[in-house]
Amino acid sequence: MPTYAVLCKWTSQGIQSVKQSPGRLDAGRKAFEAAGIKMKDFYLVMGQYDMIIVVDAPDDATLAKAALTLASAGNIQTETLRAFTEDEYRKIVSGIA
């Protein structure tokens, strides 16, 4: 399955209720699992983003639907990056003419 890094920022609504965010994380993990998405890692980070979530998803559309569903609650904004493993990277680069 493809791997993705999901960069998250709290919205004003999300940061106002930050104490409830662990429960929202648990609910998000369950929603992802129900959609066939495996949440591999979660990080609280400092800087431009507030959280980074690393997931494996069956395809772009499945992850897009799940991310939009979570974001529609109004607590986070997301930016999703397709991530390639080192082996995938080496295969891609070896195919350059």
Following DSSP, what letter does each residue of 16-70 receive, concatenated?
A: HTGGGHHHHHHHHHHHHHHTT-EEEEEEE--SS-SEEEEEE-S-HHHHHHHHHHH
pLDDT of residue 97: 84
Tell me the CATH number at 71: 3.30.70.920
Provide the residue count of the chain: 97
Domain total in the chain: 1
Ordered per-residue pLDDT tens for the chain, 97 residues: 999 999 999 999 999 999 999 999 999 999 999 999 999 999 999 999 999 999 999 999 999 999 999 899 999 999 999 999 999 999 999 999 8
Please state the pTM of the whole predicted model. Answer: 0.90
pLDDT of residue 11: 96
Domain span at 13 = 3-94
Four-point Cα dihedral 37, 41, 45, 50, nearest 10: 20
